[in-house]
Amino acid sequence: MMYVMAMQMDLDLLGRPGTQGAMMAAMDPRMPMDMPMARFGPLFAMWAIMMAAMMLPTLVPTLRSYEDLMVSANGSRAGWLGVVAGYGIVWVGFAAVITGVQLALLYGGVVDMLGIAKSPLFAGGLLIAVGAFQFTRAKEVCHGVCHSPMTYFLGHWRSGAAGGLRMGLGLGAFCVGCCWGFMALGFAGGVMNLAWMGLATLFMVIEKLPQIGHRVTRPMGLILIVGGLAVVATPLFTGG
């Protein structure tokens, strides 16, 4: 009797449009239906929070450099807050951009609802592209600014909150130029995979270390390229 009642409840649930749509979306991640990760608002909030968690450790050297100027120059706490606000504005903007990219990839059937690439070719190609970017002049310039924020402050110094905001926007733009690839790698290993995104954060933190930051950029690129080639080649050898 209990088994029959349970079966009836399942049939009733399947008959409800909302439940049926959710189940269909779960079976086929390309179907947006009413899933939170298929809507801009929830997905943007997820990216914004994740950006904050990933970028705060890399922001520490920049804020320490500004604090040094609060003693030796006319830096102020208002300027310090302005730098933080400028950084935040840029990264929130980038969160909106990458949210749009994920939705485009989702609706295009390239990634699933969790942001994981469905094709080894796409995942491997992304690893190779990000790895190759590590060898470019753009990466070198952006990384130089992110790695030595004091040099940027001395060359673009502005006092007060408005000045801090302006410098924060500039530093944030260079930081996005330096680190966008590590964020995009989420589509290779899974945007919701905390271990994978934690590894991307570790890469960004290592690149900002004063002693070894400049030395690890290209080796990291080589590791990513080799990893991407392995991902692309694996199905060829396994018959997948």
Write out the DSSP string of 12-68. HHHHSHHHHHHHHHHH-TT--TT-GGGSHHHHHHHHHHHHHHHHHHHHHHHHHHHHH
Model confidence pLDDT, tens digit, residues 197-210 = 888 888 888 888 87
Backbone angles phi, psi at 117, to 5 degrees: -60, 135
pLDDT given at position 98: 95
pLDDT given at position 239: 63
pLDDT given at position 2: 37
pLDDT given at position 86: 95
pLDDT given at position 162: 94
pLDDT given at position 240: 56
pLDDT given at position 34: 58
pTM of structure: 0.78
Give the start-to-end residue ranges of the domains of the chain: 40-230
Model confidence pLDDT, tens digit, residues 9-56 = 443 444 444 444 443 443 344 444 457 777 899 999 999 998 888 888
In which residue ranges of the chain is pLDDT below 70? Answer: 1-34, 239-240
Backbone angles phi, psi at 60, to 5 degrees: -55, -50
Q: Half-sphere exposure of residue 32, counting CA atoms within 13 Å on the CB side?
A: 12
| Closest by CA position to 224, among listed 174, 180, 185, 175 | 185
Name the packing angle between helices 137-147 and 194-207 (round to 10°). 80
Run of H or E including 179:
helix 160-184
pLDDT given at position 138: 96
217 and 210 Cβ atoms separated by less than 8 Å: no
216 and 206 Cβ atoms separated by less than 8 Å: yes
